Amino acid sequence: MAADPRFFRAGAALTLAEAAAAAGGELVGGDPAQRVTGVGPLHEAGPDAVSFLDNRRYLPQLAGTKAAAVVIAKDFAARVPEDVAAIVTANPYLGFGRVARALFPAPAPRPGIHPTAVVDASATVGEGVEIGPYAVVEAGAEIGAGCVIGPHAVVGAGVVLGEGCRIGAHASLSHCVAGRLVVLHPGARVGQEGFGFAVTPEGRFETMPQLGRVLLGDAVEVGANACIDRGSQGDTVLGAGTRLDNLVQIGHNVRTGRACVLVSQVGVSGSTTLGDGVQMGGQAGTTGHIAIGDRAQIAAQSGVMSDVAAGEVVGGSPAWPLRETLRAFATLRKLAAKPATRG
Amino acid sequence: MAADPRFFRAGAALTLAEAAAAAGGELVGGDPAQRVTGVGPLHEAGPDAVSFLDNRRYLPQLAGTKAAAVVIAKDFAARVPEDVAAIVTANPYLGFGRVARALFPAPAPRPGIHPTAVVDASATVGEGVEIGPYAVVEAGAEIGAGCVIGPHAVVGAGVVLGEGCRIGAHASLSHCVAGRLVVLHPGARVGQEGFGFAVTPEGRFETMPQLGRVLLGDAVEVGANACIDRGSQGDTVLGAGTRLDNLVQIGHNVRTGRACVLVSQVGVSGSTTLGDGVQMGGQAGTTGHIAIGDRAQIAAQSGVMSDVAAGEVVGGSPAWPLRETLRAFATLRKLAAKPATRG
Amino acid sequence: MAADPRFFRAGAALTLAEAAAAAGGELVGGDPAQRVTGVGPLHEAGPDAVSFLDNRRYLPQLAGTKAAAVVIAKDFAARVPEDVAAIVTANPYLGFGRVARALFPAPAPRPGIHPTAVVDASATVGEGVEIGPYAVVEAGAEIGAGCVIGPHAVVGAGVVLGEGCRIGAHASLSHCVAGRLVVLHPGARVGQEGFGFAVTPEGRFETMPQLGRVLLGDAVEVGANACIDRGSQGDTVLGAGTRLDNLVQIGHNVRTGRACVLVSQVGVSGSTTLGDGVQMGGQAGTTGHIAIGDRAQIAAQSGVMSDVAAGEVVGGSPAWPLRETLRAFATLRKLAAKPATRG
């Protein structure tokens, strides 16, 4: 299956030799001169397409694939069918992605400001920026060269975007300083007031002034409809390369290191800090004011109530070391299987 | 209580005989010629309104209701107060809905393109389409007859909408082909890039080209601020009639069958497949690359880590058969009640 | 650290005496005439700034703070370093907030309707209202005096906003009557159709007319991308002062009392009622049609399946009294630590 031309403009076809080169892999079997024009999953890819295998789960599909070539690790190369070429590489997923990118180059910005966009006279807009219909760029904002601002996006007063950022449709930013190559997907909310209030003696809630910012490192990506509140006095900080999936919540004053990965619907409460390379599975959450160490891994749906050491792997709600949690549930299951009277 | 005329335009009044006919039920007691103009819950409905009972929990309210008539199942009909009519039907909730719809017909589209809407010259717009203020319809999009595109909605390049779709305010679509009568509620995000990236040998994240689409079957409904990512190579597919509540997350390459029901804040991870009629309770989640069988039921807040057979009912995180999970927690509770020393 | 002047306009400096007065506290140590211009956390605040201590966790930072003054409770005042002034008050967090507000007054509305805003001729707009670029105010809407309507916000037909409401960028309202000083953060969705449908004998889903409203009490705040569905026949009601964090879901016909606090990603299912002062931690959820009593506390990630009595503290999924849940998990952990054969 080639990508739908309604939505994706194909570049030039590649020979298998070129595809192997793009993948940084070795072509085994197949005709180096054979042309491929698309990519697809094993069960859908046709003789004009390249596929990949990165998960044993799909070995059965490998046996039946009609792909021209499969990007694959050395260990599985022997399992590729007779009439299918193998592109052997240590990192099939990365290699496959590079073949796909070579076949379907990312659309370049179309420099220019749509006539319906409202760009304040005091805003500065860099070289080659594309600003879409009904986008709003407020006073004093700075848009770096090569940025693409989607339809209806709102870049608030004073916001700074580095070079090559992509801001999706309906995304909003305020009180934010972003580095280069930052990506906000549609509907992402960055820089709004955090959830901070004090209780008066009369029992009324009084909003605490939220006087901090959001600092986004280079190449940070923020998923659709995800939310990042600005700091209350200090800043909310996402380290370079950190990626948030859709509907993730980042409370005020949260700080993450570089290259953290927060899967969809994760929630990080205010003033919690994450080290470098922390990974949180979908729907996991943390309480506020705790510290998660470098490269810690938080299983999906975990509820982290206290500090997690560097490299630790935790799960469950409340979260314990994942091994203990799994053992505990196995034990519980065994107990529950016994006659209730023995419970 | 009649619906607030600020927001709802009432149609003609109905007689109880007409109401019973609309409900597909039998009028028992009451004057067939009595007129009703509204609907309401048992405790609020007045003598000009129709109510219903569908949940034993509300039997106490039935006793005190002032409604003109109550749409109700045979078994409970005897519990309707003396001076209140009963409209007896096998499906009171459905019957009540049809009475309500007869009293308050859905507003028809107001055909026309608002002068502030930006519709690309290459887009095709069907008969009787309503396009609201500041809506954006990009190049090559196809809007079927009778569609309503809300204020600020963005229909991306090449997107196809079948007849009679309703796109809410601020919703965005890209890389999507939708059938007939599809509904997106406000802020829904459809077709954006999925959460896919490879790690380079240097430890940098490299985005995988997301070259698939989102295919929405007829009458699919997507809740407010819900997100559906497009496929990475294959497509993300929601079967006809499937309904997503607000803030639901659908990862790339997910495929559902027909008439699935995903309650608010559910998350389905990438490449997981759901059969027909699967139901997931609020805040439940699944890991990626698994298969949920037809008519399986996933309890609220469950965490599904492996395949679920057709018709199975699971709960807990990690999810087990719901009966076992409930028994396990009952056992645990009993154990915890004992002196800790006995633990 | 003073607040970034890119984003925050400072008012006049304060003397420590004035700061103490604003905090409603007593100045202990330090020069009453010393001027302060900013606020910050203990580890960042410099000699021109005021900080606060409200959490023992930060006592180590207190020892090293360079702040001019620290707003602090009596018990900890002795721990303030020699050369730092203490502003002693019973409620340091509130006091600190008032100092911050005195230094950084909230920006006043800039009355006027942006030329790109679309305001229906039949809408009424009060004194001193600010309506931003591309905002849409539909037929019959009433905007109270001093409201600020953000860029791209959509105020639906007939919606009523009391005085001094702030509607964030891209927020949408329909079928809603709001009191005074209501705040919607960016992307909040209020008043859309609830998740209600009946199943026809043929197994098709048929949408139930959603004929209720959303009633928001005075000073209700709704977080970014949070969703509140309108009632199906009755209304969805949030009591005065109630605050929803980002990405919270409120189902149709939910009713809350006054001053409830729902932390990020909480979900409250349809027709559930909350009393006054109910607090729900992040990612907690409730099933539908239950009652949560006044001042009940629901721990983060809890799953509440049945009524909760006034003042009760529950946790876990399914939720039990929090003490029992914690004891149960402690017991389980002990069991799991034993040799599996003993399980």
pLDDT in tens, C255-281: 999 999 999 999 999 999 999 999 999
Give the CA distances from residue B57 to residues B54, B60, B75, in Å, rounded to whole numbers and listed in that order: 9, 8, 15
- Bridge partners of residue B46, in order along the sequence: none
Q: Please give the angle made by the CA atoms of C110, A191 and C154, to the nearest 5 degrees.
A: 55
**Which residue in chain A is spatially nearest to C342 when comparing CA positions?**
A331
Task: Indicate the length of chain A as a whole number.
Answer: 343
Residue entry with tokens 């001094």: C164
Q: What is the percent of chain C where pLDDT is above 70? A: 98
Q: What is the percent of chain A where pLDDT is above 70? A: 98
A/B interface, count of CB pairs below 8 Å: 186
Please check the confidence at residue A100 and state whether its pLDDT lies above 80.
Answer: yes
Contacts of B149 in chain A (CB under 8 A): none
Residue entry with tokens 């046709």: A46
Report helix, strand or coil for A3: coil
Please check the confidence at residue A339 and state whether its pLDDT lies above 60.
Answer: no
Q: According to the model, what pLDDT value does residue C338 have?
A: 65
Q: Say yes or no for a CB contact (<8 Å) between A186 and B200.
A: no
Give the CA distances from residue C112 to residues A215, C145, C178, in Å, rounded to whole numbers and listed in that order: 32, 12, 21
Q: Does the N-terminal peptide bond of residue B41 adopt cis geometry, omega within 30 degrees of 0?
A: no
Q: According to the model, what pLDDT value does residue C55 have?
A: 87
Q: According to the model, what pLDDT value does residue B57 have?
A: 87
Chain A: nearest CA to B317, how far in angstroms? Answer: 8
Question: What is the ipTM for the molecules in this complex?
Answer: 0.95
**Can you tell me the distance from the alpha carbon of C76 to that of C79, in angstroms, rounded to the nearest whole number?**
5
Across the range B55-78, mean pLDDT stands at 94
**Can you tell me the distance from the alpha carbon of B241 to that of B252, in angstroms, rounded to the nearest whole number?**
20
Please check the confidence at residue C343 and state whether its pLDDT lies above 90.
Answer: no
* pLDDT classification of A233: cutoffs 50, 70, 90: confident
Q: Which two tokens stand for residue B81?
A: 């107060």
**Can you tell me the distance from the alpha carbon of A57 to that of A65, in angstroms, rounded to the nearest whole number?**
14
**Can you tell me the distance from the alpha carbon of C41 to that of C7, in angstroms, rounded to the nearest whole number?**
18
User: What is the DSSP-derived secondary structure letter of residue B255?
Assistant: B
Q: Which helix (H) or strand (E) holds A112?
A: strand A112-113
Q: Tell whether A15 is within 8 A of chain B (Cβ).
A: no
Question: What predicted TM-score, i.e. pTM, was given to this entire model?
Answer: 0.96
Q: Say yes or no for a CB contact (<8 Å) between C282 and A265.
A: no
Query: In this predicted model, what pLDDT tens digit does every residue of B166-222 receive, in sequence order?
Result: 999 999 999 999 999 999 999 999 999 999 999 999 999 999 999 999 999 999 999
* pLDDT classification of C223: cutoffs 50, 70, 90: very high
Give the CA distances from residue C305 to residues A246, A302, A328, C16, C192, in Å, rounded to whole numbers and listed in that order: 27, 20, 24, 51, 25
CA quadruple B331, B332, B336, B341: dihedral sign: positive
* pLDDT classification of C135: cutoffs 50, 70, 90: very high
- A90-119 residues touching B, CB cutoff 8 A: 91, 93-94, 96-98, 100-101, 104, 106, 114, 116
Q: Say yes or no for a CB contact (<8 Å) between A332 and B332.
A: yes
Alpha helix (H) ranges present in C34-115?
59-64, 74-77, 92-103
Contacts of A136 in chain C (CB under 8 A): 132-134, 151-152
User: What is the DSSP-derived secondary structure letter of residue C18?
Assistant: H
Please check the confidence at residue B341 and state whether its pLDDT lies above 80.
Answer: no
Contacts of A246 in chain B (CB under 8 A): 189, 192, 195, 227, 229, 249
Hey, of A172, A237, A244, A342, which one would you mutate to test binding to chain C, going by the most C CBs within 10 A of its CB?
A172
Under a CB-based contact definition with an 8 Å cutoff, are residues C109 and C132 in contact? no
Contacts of B214 in chain A (CB under 8 A): none
Hey, of B37, B59, B101, B225, which one would you mutate to test binding to chain C, going by the most C CBs within 10 A of its CB?
B225
C327: nearest CB among B245, B259, B336: B336
SS3 content of chain C, % helix, strand, coil (to 5): 15, 25, 60
Q: According to the model, what pLDDT value does residue B338 have?
A: 65
Q: Please give the angle made by the CA atoms of B194, B198 and B201, to the nearest 5 degrees.
A: 165
Chain C: nearest CA to B3, how far in angstroms? Answer: 6
Q: According to the model, what pLDDT value does residue A342 have?
A: 41
Hey, of B245, B320, B326, which one would you mutate to test binding to chain C, going by the most C CBs within 10 A of its CB?
B245
Query: In this predicted model, what pLDDT tens digit does every residue of C8-54 receive, in sequence order?
Result: 988 889 999 999 999 999 999 999 999 999 998 899 899 999 999 99
Please check the confidence at residue A178 and state whether its pLDDT lies above 50.
Answer: yes
Q: Which two tokens stand for residue C317?
A: 């999924």
Q: Which two tokens stand for residue C1?
A: 């650290």
Q: According to the model, what pLDDT value does residue A341 have?
A: 47
Residue extents of the structural domains in chain B: 14-103, 112-324
Q: How far apart are the first and last CA of chain B?
A: 56
Contacts of A340 in chain B (CB under 8 A): 327, 330-331
Q: Please tell me which residue, A12 or B307, carries the higher pLDDT value.
A: B307
Q: According to the model, what pLDDT value does residue C191 have?
A: 98
Q: Please give the angle made by the CA atoms of B134, B135 and B141, to the nearest 5 degrees.
A: 150
Q: Say yes or no for a CB contact (<8 Å) between C209 and B106.
A: yes
Q: Say yes or no for a CB contact (<8 Å) between A1 and B324.
A: no
Query: In this predicted model, what pLDDT tens digit does every residue of A53-85 receive, in sequence order?
Result: 998 889 999 999 999 999 999 999 999 999 999
- DSSP state letters, C127-188: TT-EE-TT-EE-TT-EE-TT-EE-TT-EE-TT-EE-TT-EE-TT-EE-SEEE-TT-EE-TT-
Q: Say yes or no for a CB contact (<8 Å) between C187 and B225.
A: yes
Q: Say yes or no for a CB contact (<8 Å) between A198 and C97.
A: yes
HSE, side-chain direction, 13 A CA sphere, residue B93: 14
What is the amino acid identity at position C157?
A
> Burial of C67 by CB count in 10 Å (0-12 exposed, 13-18 middle, 19+ buried)?
buried
Closest alpha carbon to B233 in A340, A18, A45, A257: A45
> Burial of A291 by CB count in 10 Å (0-12 exposed, 13-18 middle, 19+ buried)?
middle
Contacts of C206 in chain B (CB under 8 A): 94, 97-98
Please check the confidence at residue B115 and state whether its pLDDT lies above 60.
Answer: yes
Q: Please tell me which residue, B88 or A55, carries the higher pLDDT value.
A: B88
Q: According to the model, what pLDDT value does residue B10 have?
A: 81
Across the range C191-208, mean pLDDT stands at 95
* pLDDT classification of C335: cutoffs 50, 70, 90: confident
**What contacts A297, CB < 8 A, 6 or more positions away?**
A278, A279, A312, A313, A314, A322
C-alpha dihedral over C31, C33, C38, C40, to 10 degrees?
A: 20
Q: According to the model, what pLDDT value does residue A231 have?
A: 96
Chain B: nearest CA to A144, how far in angstroms? Answer: 21
Q: Tell whether B224 is within 8 A of chain C (Cβ).
A: yes
* pLDDT classification of C110: cutoffs 50, 70, 90: very high
Q: Tell whether A144 is within 8 A of chain C (Cβ).
A: no
Under a CB-based contact definition with an 8 Å cutoff, are residues C53 and C92 in contact? yes
How are beta strands A49-52 and B313-315 bridged, if at all?
Answer: unpaired
Contacts of A227 in chain B (CB under 8 A): none
Q: Say yes or no for a CB contact (<8 Å) between A251 and C259.
A: no
Q: Say yes or no for a CB contact (<8 Å) between A282 and B267.
A: yes
B335: nearest CB among C136, C233, C331: C331
- Bridge partners of residue A70, in order along the sequence: A51, A86
Under a CB-based contact definition with an 8 Å cutoff, are residues C244 and C223 in contact? yes
Across the range A195-221, mean pLDDT stands at 96
What is the amino acid identity at position B291?
A
B/C interface, count of CB pairs below 8 Å: 185
Rg of chain A on CA atoms, in Å: 24
- CA B147 to chain CA centroid, Å, is 19
- CA B71 to chain CA centroid, Å, is 23
Q: Which architecture characterizes domain A14-103 according to CATH?
A: 3-Layer(aba) Sandwich (3.40)
Q: How far apart are the first and last CA of chain C?
A: 56
User: What is the DSSP-derived secondary structure letter of residue A284?
Assistant: -
Q: Which two tokens stand for residue C91?
A: 């409620």
Q: Say yes or no for a CB contact (<8 Å) between C283 and A287.
A: no
Report helix, strand or coil for C115: coil
Q: Say yes or no for a CB contact (<8 Å) between A233 and C335.
A: no
Please check the confidence at residue C165 and state whether its pLDDT lies above 70.
Answer: yes
Chain A: nearest CA to B231, how far in angstroms? Answer: 10
How are beta strands B205-207 and A279-280 bridged, if at all?
Answer: unpaired
Under a CB-based contact definition with an 8 Å cutoff, are residues A281 and A262 in contact? no
Q: Which two tokens stand for residue B293?
A: 């069988």
Hey, of C265, C279, C298, C325, which one would you mutate to test binding to chain A, going by the most A CBs within 10 A of its CB?
C265
Q: Tell whether A315 is within 8 A of chain B (Cβ).
A: no
Under a CB-based contact definition with an 8 Å cutoff, are residues A264 and A247 in contact? yes
Rg of chain C on CA atoms, in Å: 24
C332: nearest CB among A160, A208, A328: A328
**Can you tell me the distance from the alpha carbon of A172 to that of B144, in angstroms, rounded to the nearest whole number?**
30
Report helix, strand or coil for A330: helix
Q: Which architecture characterizes domain C112-324 according to CATH?
A: 3 Solenoid (2.160)
Query: In this predicted model, what pLDDT tens digit does every residue of B24-44 receive, in sequence order?
Result: 999 999 999 999 999 988 998
Across the range A118-132, mean pLDDT stands at 97
A185: nearest CB among B193, B265, B303: B193
> Burial of A216 by CB count in 10 Å (0-12 exposed, 13-18 middle, 19+ buried)?
buried
Contacts of B204 in chain A (CB under 8 A): 219, 241, 259
**Can you tell me the distance from the alpha carbon of A255 to that of B205, in angstroms, rounded to the nearest whole number?**
19
Q: Tell whether B339 is within 8 A of chain C (Cβ).
A: no
* pLDDT classification of B342: cutoffs 50, 70, 90: very low
Q: Does the N-terminal peptide bond of residue A109 adopt cis geometry, omega within 30 degrees of 0?
A: no
Chain B: nearest CA to C16, how far in angstroms? Answer: 46
Query: In this predicted model, what pLDDT tens digit does every residue of A8-60 receive, in sequence order?
Result: 988 889 999 999 999 999 999 999 999 999 998 899 899 999 999 998 889 99
Q: How many other CB atoms are found less than 10 A from the CB of residue C342?
A: 7
Closest alpha carbon to C266 in C254, C258, C257: C254
Across the range A106-119, mean pLDDT stands at 94
Hey, of A249, A253, A264, A335, which one would you mutate to test binding to chain C, going by the most C CBs within 10 A of its CB?
A249
Q: Say yes or no for a CB contact (<8 Å) between B195 and A151.
A: no
Q: According to the model, what pLDDT value does residue B339 have?
A: 55
Under a CB-based contact definition with an 8 Å cutoff, are residues A240 and A179 in contact? yes
Q: Say yes or no for a CB contact (<8 Å) between B187 and C170.
A: yes
